Amino acid sequence: MIQTLPTAPIAGMKPGTSGLRKKVTEFAAGNYLPNFVQSVFDAVRPQGGLGGLTLVVGGDGRYYNLQAIQTVIRMAAANGFGRVLVGQGGILSTPAASCVIRQHHAFGGLILSASHNPGGPDGDFGIKFNGANGGPAAEKVTDAIYACTLKITAYRSTDTPDIDLGRIGTTQVEGMSVHVIDPVADYLALMRRLFDFDALQRLFASGFTLAFDAMHAVTGPYAHAIFERELGAAPGTVRHGTPLPDFGGHHPDPNLVHARELYDLMMSPQAPDLGAASDGDGDRNLIIGRGLFVAPSDSLAMLAANAHLAPAYAKGIVGIARSMPTSGAADRVAQALGVPCYETPTGWKFFGNLLDAGKVTLCGEESAGTGSDHVREKDGIWAVLLWLNVLAVRRQSVAQVAHEHWARYGRNYYTRHDYEDVDSAAAQALMQAVAAQLPTLAGATLDGRPVVIADDFSYLDPIDASVSKHQGLRIVFADGSRIVYRLSGTGTSGATLRVYIERFEGDAARHGLDTQEALADLIALADRVAGIRQRTGREVPSVIT
């Protein structure tokens, strides 16, 4: 029976860059989930209502995923949807959800994940809405959802029993059909169309070795199916391949701290040809060659320079987009290719308009996100497949590809220093102190370096003319070196300060330096300008990438 249940607004419902993220304990208590889901339905309901429309639902398998999906299904039925497509076992990686939405011409999807944040009863949970293009809702939509959460008085649900999510098949809930689908099939079919699977099979048959760390998160089933079963990589290629509700107690963030085991393997004499990892919901990627970590900003540039080697991009790319804090390495490739390179704020949603308008083919962020116009999310497995395709055609190692790239385009030394769980007031004060200096810095010199831009980054979307302000404080020097300060929008406890530092090196004799040493002067300067150690009370960053 369809019911209208009373509820009331709850504080803290403003969706951030990737939807609503909270501790599980907060999500599970009270009406966070029903309030958010009803607010989404109310905010996006078209003129003709939701009747007959298709909704895609799935998540990264973390704790609370299954309960949340049952709630979403009941509410979708009560709100009049015609059809729900849900991944078997409640599983859909974020890029696979984007693929399924597009493939089945769905109205949109609800993706349940807190990305790379830890899971389990004490971990994080999250939910976001993606529209018919398969991408995260634009800011005007998330603002409308938020507005609904402030005035909500009731939500619609049903008292129907739980759906069996373990079995592929179709069930009816109050006149709505629920299709439990294979979470991998549509995505695999798309990957087959993009890449030369025959060449990749030959690559593995020739003895090429891959270590893929799924971090006990959502990419396990995709990686087993694609790398091992389709492409013939040896059993054991996929590590930590079973999704677990608490990610095995680990932090499913493929960086050099949390994917340490993979990093150590890649630096050891036993290293396979390629090491890769993905995060909780499968949209991030980590790429490590034998003995060489490829910084995500470099990976974007190298993939852009070589994308034409894969069938999907054989005609060339039309443009690149990168988030502002991402290094300028991709800009150099774009320039050489004679295509534009757009600089957007942090967050994948800013790429959506450019992709939909056909202005760019590849996009990427320094935070281990790379993707293309094949879906509207960044895509971890896709990035690994594109690297494999490039290596298969060039018959070179990752290190050879990287060094040849730097020799041709120069090297953008790049690092990000994160200070996690910093006192929020101290972090705000730090940002204000830097912001206050910006007007005097523009045109001045710092340590003998002329400053050409000192501002709070603001973005004018070239497609819909919307403006996004306060996207990071940047100090750009005449030689292209940069220091950028930003507060994270995805952390769930305290504040996370991110400091991004970059320097261009054109001299090939200096392309083999240690990154932290190559950037030491600028790192010290970044601390001096912002008083990081003194204001945060931290001597060293929590994570260095």
Which residues are catalytically annotated?
115
- CB 348, min distance to ligand G1P, A: 5
Residue pair 484/500 in contact (Cβ under 8 Å)? The answer is yes
User: How many residues at the interface with ligand G1P, by CB under 6 A?
Assistant: 14
Chain position carrying tokens 């339905």: 41
Cβ neighbours of 405 (radius 10 Å) = 21
- CB 1, min distance to ligand G1P, A: 39
Helices (H), 365-490: 380-394, 398-409, 424-441
- CB 347, min distance to ligand G1P, A: 5
If phi > 0 it is left, if psi is from -120 to 50 it is alpha, else beta; for residue 79 that is alpha
**For residue 414, what are the CA distances in angstroms to 52, 269, 341, 456?**
49, 26, 18, 20
- Which of 248, 340, 489, 494 forms a contact with ligand G1P (CB under 6 A)? 489
- Residue 370, beta-bridge partner list: 364
Residue pair 326/347 in contact (Cβ under 8 Å)? The answer is no
Q: Which two tokens stand for residue 275?
A: 């090491």
The nearer residue to ligand G1P, 89 or 347, going by C-beta atoms, is: 347
Strand ordering across the sheet containing 449-456: 445-446, 449-456, 473-477, 482-487, 495-505, 411-422, 543-544
Judged by CB under 6 A, the stretch of 238-246, 293-301, 432-440, 483-491 that binds ligand G1P is 483-491
Residue 183's binding partner among Zn ion, ligand G1P, none (Cβ under 5 to 8 angstroms by kind) is none
Chain position carrying tokens 């059993």: 235
Q: Answer yes or no whether residue 347 interacts with ligand G1P by CB under 6 A.
A: yes
The whole-angstrom separation of Cα 37 and Cα 397 is: 47
The nearer residue to Zn ion, 98 or 306, going by C-beta atoms, is: 98
The nearer residue to ligand G1P, 54 or 492, going by C-beta atoms, is: 492
Residue pair 492/117 in contact (Cβ under 8 Å)? The answer is yes
Q: Answer yes or no whether residue 18 interacts with ligand G1P by CB under 6 A.
A: yes
Q: Which of residues 265-284 bind ligand G1P (CB under 6 A)?
A: none
Residue 359's binding partner among Zn ion, ligand G1P, none (Cβ under 5 to 8 angstroms by kind) is none
Q: Answer yes or no whether residue 115 interacts with ligand G1P by CB under 6 A.
A: yes
- Which of 186, 365, 377, 379 forms a contact with ligand G1P (CB under 6 A)? 365
Judged by CB under 6 A, the stretch of 160-168, 246-254, 395-403, 485-493 that binds ligand G1P is 485-493
Q: Answer yes or no whether residue 113 interacts with ligand G1P by CB under 6 A.
A: no
Residue 281's binding partner among Zn ion, ligand G1P, none (Cβ under 5 to 8 angstroms by kind) is Zn ion
Q: Which two tokens stand for residue 426?
A: 């101290």
- Residue 470, beta-bridge partner list: none
Chain center to CA of 430? 27
- List of residues contacting ligand G1P (CB under 6 A): 17-18, 115, 323, 346-348, 365, 367, 369, 488-490, 498
